[in-house]
Amino acid sequence: MMGCWILNESLSIILVLSWLGVNLYLFINTFYWYEEEESFLYTRVILGSTLAWARASAVCLNFNCMLILLPVSRNLISFMRGTSACFRGPWRRQLDKNLKFHKLVAYGIVINATIHVGAHLFNLEHYYWSQSPEAEGLVAALSKLGDTPNETYLNPIRTFHTNTITELLTTIAGITGLLISLALILIMTSSTEFIRQVSYELFWYTHHVFIIFFIGLAIHGAGRIVRGQTPESLLLHNITLCRDHPEEWQVRCPVPQFSGKEPSAWKWVLGPMVLYACERIIRFWRFQQEVIITKVVSHPSGVLELCMKKRDFKMAPGQYVLIQCPSISTLEWHPFTLTSAPQEDFFSVHIRAAGDWTEALCKAFGVEGQPLKEPWSLPRLAVDGPFGAALTDVFHYRVSMCIAAGIGVTPFAALLKSIWYQCCEAQTQCKLNKVYFYWICRDPGAFEWFADLLLALETKMSEQGKAHFLSYHIFLTGWDENQAFHIALHWDENADVITGLRQKTYYGRPNWNHEFQQVAFSHPSSNIGVFFCGPKALSKILQKMCRVYSSADPRGVHFYYNRESF
Amino acid sequence: MGQIEWAMWANEQALASGLILITGGIVATAGQFTQWYLGAYSIAAGVLVCLLEYPRGKRSKGSTMERCGQKYLTRVVKLFGPLTRNYYIRAFLHLGLAVPAGFLLATILGTACLAIASGIYLLAAIRGEQWSPIEPKPKERPQIGGTIKQPPSNPPPRPPAEARKKPSEEAAGVPTGGPQENPMPVNDEVV
């Protein structure tokens, strides 16, 4: 059990180190190959070790470009999650960190691209200098190769009466290299966290420049300008004897022959490109499938609830869908957590207006004071998904703590409903027998749609005699003096004055030490799953609490932390 | 896409271009490439661009994340007034700075990126955007006596204050309204 806990926390570190290890292995291996390899000896005479730097970083680039499309193939990841035999427990949680991995690989690409470009700048300059009239000896002799009809060339720059820029722009490798570097820089500058906040659309649209990136990458090596000696020439031309006497090559040694290296980038990236193309095709096909909107509810504080039906739609609590509204934007898909339980015959999402697209959607569905819309005038929606996330693990623990901050309550809405349905069916045995639910919220108006759910649950549980199954605590963090007086006056009543629920609302933030202590005390030898959806700062606090209150004894209480994020 | 503040992206792009110009310039100068003096120029141009672009401008709506330690440079950039506020000037400045670096291979990528940034700034300028500095909020000095309300105008026992109308409606039997009318005369019995 304790090994499992260590594995939990460090699996991410292990995976990152493995990725780094593979990168270093590829880099160092390729570097030494190009430094020692005989067929590139003459190339090294002109270029020096910048050849090895350029080639080593190129191999790392190939590796990383292969990896980068995989974490964003959502349907592939869902498929991997579905095959639960292979992906249990800690491995499943790693699949939730796909975006972090995508960013890590992107940084890897940038670093290797910088090394690659820098090294090739030196290479081009060295090739250019070796054509100058001042070059002498072996370097000059090698550069002259290719001038006569029976010779193959080594130096791609054939004359001194040119400049490196012209040479760059007249080669496939040069043009594609410039293009893909520009594409990479545009992607990076539009993907910073600030720009994603300012305008998600800009980030999303500019990111599609990756198509140019991958096409450029695939044809980047087509010019075959990395040249090494052919194997046949190596047999005929003895390097150790002949390298010191270039003036005698026509006489004693046969002239060395060179050939260009085959492009290899396409071999690395073809698979993932095909997979990603399939991913986009699946999304397009799902877009074509009909989505019927069965109910539209407008809740206070600008929350829109949409209930929909779609053929063959199966979900689990905690999963999310991507929604597209063609009348607002043809290219954007936005993620929303499902708030309905799998046992219901429809699926629903609760959307809050928090940006251009969501505001336009709320307006299109007639939120806040606009006249009621007829069902046939509602805009068409397309839904892709559902895509999996961590909450399906809640049922694998005997005790679970679910903590939601603000709008982060949405995955837990689905979960609590699902728990409700499972409690009704007395035949099915849940492993889960206690749920602690904490909701931290600023605005009491936002309570309304969720308060109804909690009220219904409260009634249901006490009817079934399972009143102690669910223990929930609501924390209202934004209150003023007037409210405080009002609440103080009604403190002794049975139902809470704001929500009408039997369990009282607390004011201010929770004291996590106290909460975790209580839970640990009540369940001394259990594994407790902690599930959180909300801001990072609180996530860090909760992770710390889980570490502090997990006992060192393998038979004692253990808190396992799971975070939900988009 | 209508609400995008293009200047924000132009700023990120220009900052990145500045760094690329510096890197390309260092490679060219250290390697003593042909026309390496253009490399030296591009290091200087890159540094200028980075200094100009480091302080992020304020968004027209919403809050802006400041870059670490940008307030010192904000003060300097603010000094130039309209030269740094106006995005047309920035667009042409960047274009002008980019051109000489375009003649050296090592810095050609920097030129292309800075030219793109210049184009985005031009777009931002056409849409009427402007650079405004992010000012630190003046510290709210605690007002002495500000939270002390009107002292009570009548002796105890007092009704709940006017402001507490809501609870006082619910709680029955608590009188509302102005000064208390004493049912019998009250004398001050201090000798």
- Name the amino acid, one letter, at A368: E
Q: What number of CA atoms fall less than 13 Å from residue A297's CA on the CB side?
A: 11
- Give the CATH H-level superfamily of domain A290-368+380-387: Translation factors (2.40.30.10)
Please determine, for residue B191, whether its predicted confidence score (pLDDT) is greater than 80. Answer: no
**Unique residue bearing structure tokens 């038979």:** A555
Q: What is the pLDDT of residues B19-61, one digit of tens each?
A: 999 999 999 999 998 888 999 999 999 999 999 999 998 888 8
- Across the interface, of A190, A205, A489, the residue whose CB is closest to B167 is A489
pLDDT of residue B148: 64
pLDDT of residue A18: 94
Average pLDDT over residues A289-298: 87
Report yes or no: B70 at the A interface, CB cutoff 8 Å. no
Percentage of chain A surpassing pLDDT 70?
Answer: 87
Report yes or no: A122 at the B interface, CB cutoff 8 Å. yes
Percentage of chain A surpassing pLDDT 90?
Answer: 25
Q: What number of CA atoms fall less than 13 Å from residue B150's CA on the CB side?
A: 6
A544 vs B174, higher pLDDT: A544
Closest to A404 (Cα-Cα) out of A391, A393, A420, A392 = A391
pLDDT of residue A341: 87
The string over A220-258, giving b where at least 16 C-beta atoms fall within 10 Å of a residue's C-beta and e elsewhere, is: bbbbebbbbbbeebbeebeeeebbeebeebeeebebbbb
Locate B1 and state its tokens. Answer: 């896409």
Q: Cis peptide leading into B157, omega within 30 of 0?
A: yes
pLDDT of residue A566: 34
- Range scoring the smallest mean pLDDT among A15-24, A217-226, A331-340, B135-144: B135-144
pLDDT of residue B174: 43
When pLDDT is cut at 50, 70 and 90, the band that residue B110 belongs to is very high
When pLDDT is cut at 50, 70 and 90, the band that residue B173 belongs to is very low
Average pLDDT over residues A356-380: 77
When pLDDT is cut at 50, 70 and 90, the band that residue A89 belongs to is low
Q: H helices within A88-136, ranges in order?
A: 90-95, 98-129
When pLDDT is cut at 50, 70 and 90, the band that residue A386 belongs to is confident
Domains A290-368+380-387 and A392-563 share a fold: no
Please determine, for residue A308, whether its predicted confidence score (pLDDT) is greater than 50. Answer: yes
- Across the interface, of B2, B9, B109, the residue whose CB is closest to A178 is B109
**Number of domains chain B is built from:** 1
User: How many angstroms separate the CA atoms of A364 and A518, rounded?
Assistant: 47
Average pLDDT over residues A453-471: 79
User: Hey, are the CB atoms on A178 and B16 less than 8 Å from each other?
Assistant: no
User: Hey, are the CB atoms on A121 and B24 less than 8 Å from each other?
Assistant: yes
Q: What is the pLDDT of residues A154-178, one digit of tens each?
A: 888 888 888 888 889 999 999 999 9
To test the contact with chain B by mutation, choose from A117, A124, A185 the residue with the greatest count of B C-beta atoms within 10 A, namely A185
| Tally of residues, chain B | 191
Alpha carbon separation from A18 to A21, A23, A538 (Å, rounded): 5, 9, 30
pLDDT of residue A277: 94
Most confident of A116-120, A361-365, A536-540: A116-120
User: How many angstroms separate the CA atoms of B146 and A296, rounded?
Assistant: 48
For residue A163, list chain B residues with Cβ-Cβ distance below 8 A. 34, 105
Helix axes A2-36, A50-68, angle to 10 degrees: 140
Chain-wide mean pLDDT for chain A? 83
User: Within a domain: residue B92?
Assistant: yes
Please determine, for residue A120, whether its predicted confidence score (pLDDT) is greater than 90. Answer: yes
- Across the interface, of B4, B20, B109, the residue whose CB is closest to A201 is B4
Return the residue of B nearest to A120 by Cα: B106
User: Hey, are the CB atoms on B105 and A164 less than 8 Å from each other?
Assistant: yes
Q: Within 10 Å of residue B191's Cβ, how many Cβ atoms?
A: 3
Please determine, for residue B143, whether its predicted confidence score (pLDDT) is greater than 90. Answer: no
User: How many angstroms separate the CA atoms of A72 and A66, rounded?
Assistant: 12
Q: What number of CA atoms fall less than 13 Å from residue A504's CA on the CB side?
A: 10
User: Within a domain: residue B36?
Assistant: yes
User: What percent helix, strand, coil does chain A show, rounded to 5?
Assistant: 50, 15, 35
pLDDT of residue A16: 92
Report yes or no: A128 at the B interface, CB cutoff 8 Å. yes
Q: Which helix (H) or strand (E) holds A454?
A: helix A447-463
User: How many angstroms separate the CA atoms of A449 and A358, rounded?
Assistant: 19
**Unique residue bearing structure tokens 């390309």:** B24
Q: How far is B1 from chain A (nearest CA, A)?
A: 6
Q: H helices within A148-220, ranges in order?
A: 164-169, 172-189, 193-198, 200-207, 210-219
Q: Within 10 Å of residue A184's Cβ, how many Cβ atoms?
A: 20
Rg (CA), chain B: 32
User: Within a domain: residue B165?
Assistant: no
Alpha carbon separation from A408 to A84, A229, A499, A531, B57 (Å, rounded): 26, 62, 19, 11, 31
Q: What is the pLDDT of residues A424-446, one digit of tens each?
A: 555 566 777 888 989 888 776 66
User: Within a domain: residue B185?
Assistant: no
- Using left for φ > 0, alpha for ψ between -120 and 50, and beta otherwise, residue B52 falls in alpha
Locate A95 and state its tokens. Answer: 């699949």
Q: Which residues share a beta bridge with B159?
A: none
Percentage of chain B surpassing pLDDT 90?
Answer: 45
Report yes or no: B30 at the A interface, CB cutoff 8 Å. no
Cβ proximity of B43 and B36 under 8 Å: no
User: How many angstroms separate the CA atoms of A55 and A64, rounded?
Assistant: 14
Alpha carbon separation from A218 to A61, A62, A185, A505 (Å, rounded): 12, 10, 18, 60
User: How many angstroms separate the CA atoms of A557 and A476, rounded?
Assistant: 29
Q: H helices within A48-97, ranges in order?
A: 50-68, 74-82, 90-95
User: Within a domain: residue B52?
Assistant: yes
User: Hey, are the CB atoms on B8 and A186 less than 8 Å from each other?
Assistant: no
Q: How far is A230 from chain B (nearest CA, A)?
A: 31
Average pLDDT over residues A190-212: 89
Alpha carbon separation from A280 to A77, A273, A329 (Å, rounded): 14, 11, 17
Average pLDDT over residues A237-250: 79
Task: Give the start-to-end residue ranges of the domains of chain A.
Answer: 2-171+223-282, 290-368+380-387, 392-563
What strand order describes the sheet that includes A505-507? A505-507, A470-476, A434-441, A399-405, A527-533, A558-564
Return the residue of A nearest to B30 by Cα: A122
SS (H, E, C) B45-92: HHHHHHHHHCCCCCCCCCCCCCCCCCHHHHHHHHHCCHHHHEHHHHHH
User: Hey, are the CB atoms on B8 and A194 less than 8 Å from each other?
Assistant: yes
Average pLDDT over residues A273-283: 91
For residue B28, list chain A residues with Cβ-Cβ distance below 8 A. 121
Closest to A349 (Cα-Cα) out of A374, A324, A329 = A324
To test the contact with chain A by mutation, choose from B5, B8, B26 the residue with the greatest count of A C-beta atoms within 10 A, namely B8
To test the contact with chain A by mutation, choose from B6, B17, B19, B33 the residue with the greatest count of A C-beta atoms within 10 A, namely B33
Cβ proximity of A307 and A293 under 8 Å: yes
User: How many angstroms separate the CA atoms of A492 and A457, rounded?
Assistant: 23
- Across the interface, of B8, B108, B164, the residue whose CB is closest to A198 is B8
Question: Top-level CATH class of A392-563?
Answer: alpha beta
Q: What is the pLDDT of residues A503-542, one digit of tens each?
A: 667 778 888 898 888 888 888 888 888 988 888 888 888 8
- Across the interface, of B59, B105, B116, the residue whose CB is closest to A165 is B105
Most confident of A11-20, A151-160, A540-549, B11-20: B11-20
pLDDT of residue B62: 78
For residue B7, list chain A residues with Cβ-Cβ distance below 8 A. none
Please determine, for residue B168, whether its predicted confidence score (pLDDT) is greater than 50. Answer: no
Question: Structural domain of residue B52, as residue ranges?
Answer: 6-56+69-127
Helices (H) and strands (E) in chain A, counts: 21, 14
| Tally of residues, chain A | 566
Q: What number of CA atoms fall less than 13 Å from residue A36's CA on the CB side?
A: 6
Please determine, for residue A8, whether its predicted confidence score (pLDDT) is greater than 70. Answer: no
